[in-house]
Amino acid sequence: MTDRDYYEILGVNKSANGDEIKKSFRKLAMQYHPDRNPGDKEAEAKFKEINEAYEVLKDEQKRAAYDRYGHQAFANGMGGAGGNPFGGFDFNFGAGGFSDIFSQVFSDFMGGGQRRGSNYAQDGADIRYNMEITLEEAFLGVEKEIKIPSTQTCEKCHGHGTKDGKEAPICQHCQGRGRVQMQKGFFVVEQTCPHCQGHGRKATDVCPDCKGKGYLNQEKTLKVKIPFGVEDGTRMRIAGGGEAGIRGGENGDLYVFIGIKEHPLYTRDGANLYTRVPISMCCAALGGKVEIPAIDGEKLELSINAGSQNDQVVRLKNKGMTMMRSKGRGDLFVKIRVEIPVNLSAKQKELLEEFRAISKDDNCQPESKSFFDKIKDLFVA
């Protein structure tokens, strides 16, 4: 990906409208198209840059994201610079992206007389894969093997579908245009060439492995490395991991969407974890210790201070989640829930009655005391 400003690349103002952007893009794309600059690496790089910029600026949503976050908005994958912390929108360079625009631009521009049929090389489609992982896996990071139904370029014919593995000869029926004109009454109608299905080229002898398709249906096994600290909804782009391009087209990309399963104990907010722990009335009053399992498997001993109240929160520093590309960890917040005893035995009741009797005018329940004092004041007034 380029780090140059997309508006600058397309030579338009930040306030340019869709038509202006399109016009400028077409002009530049025409100028730097590889077919017009064979062997010119600089033109090729420029061409790629122009496409990248246009992919973003032509789309309202992506353009808005770019205006807000700059290139950060589309930093792809993990491990690369940035990641995508904004997880809120789709960003697909893909089939139907520039290959489509190009066939269109070129038939507009060249009147359909180009060497290649308009859709000879086809880029492979992008694939989306939803992956669910546990919070523990998100904590540690995990490598998963995934199987995806996909297509693989036929190796025997290098994707050309021809017996000799070379580019198929130009279709004689349409002279490589991929389209033919037919006289229908007074009108000349143009339609997709039925001999080459619009590819502009047609194999005389087809590849026996793929029967001329140029690809094979195949389940693909990929190893995907999920980094520690990954968040729910993160998208990972694996360039070239999508469906195979046909007849020299580029492979699509694989997008892995990470979903994190609900955890029985913890909820998560960014790097912090939250949980509730029930303690007995006596433990709350007298103080004590409770053991809770941390997300890393460690046993945490939580000290309860004497006089702890319901809903009080204890913060355990650095016991939360890991963070992507960081050595730090979030915190763990434990909310205390004081459980009032039920199903008391006679002896327990007796002791509690005794406790009540000696606690009457005591200052052991300050909140109740202040509450009843206020009520007293109200009655007097």
Question: Which residue do the tokens 């589309």 mark?
Answer: 74
CB 13 within 8 A of CB 7: yes
Do β-strands 235-238 and 254-260 pair in parallel, antiparallel, or remain unpaired?
antiparallel
168: contact with Zn ion by CB under 5 A:
no
Q: What does the alpha-carbon distance between residue 346 and residue 352 come to, in Å, rounded to a whole number?
A: 10
Phi first, then psi: give them for residue 115, nearest 5 degrees: -65, -45
Nearest distance in Å: CB 272, Zn ion? 54
Out of 170, 171, 203, 271, which residue is the one contacting Zn ion (CB under 5 A)?
A: 171
Nearest distance in Å: CB 127, Zn ion? 21
CB 198 within 8 A of CB 119: yes
Do β-strands 272-280 and 267-269 pair in parallel, antiparallel, or remain unpaired?
antiparallel
53: contact with Zn ion by CB under 5 A:
no
Out of 27, 166, 173, 261, which residue is the one contacting Zn ion (CB under 5 A)?
A: 173
Out of 14, 195, 225, 325, which residue is the one contacting Zn ion (CB under 5 A)?
A: 195
CB 179 within 8 A of CB 190: yes
Nearest distance in Å: CB 122, Zn ion? 15
Number of residues that bind Zn ion (CB under 5 A): 12
Phi first, then psi: give them for residue 61, nearest 5 degrees: -65, -45
Nearest distance in Å: CB 223, Zn ion? 27
Query: Which lies closer to Zn ion via its Cβ, residue 178 or residue 320?
Result: 178
121: contact with Zn ion by CB under 5 A:
no
Nearest distance in Å: CB 202, Zn ion? 6
Stretch that binds Zn ion, among 79-87, 135-143, 169-177, 369-377 (CB under 5 A): 169-177
DSSP string, 147-197: EEEEEEE-TTTTTS-BTTSSPPPBPTTTTTSSEEEEEETTEEEEEE-TTTT
156: contact with Zn ion by CB under 5 A:
yes
Neighbours of 167 (CB within 10 A): 18
Binding residues (CB under 5 A) for Zn ion: these are 154, 156-157, 171, 173-174, 193, 195-196, 207, 209-210
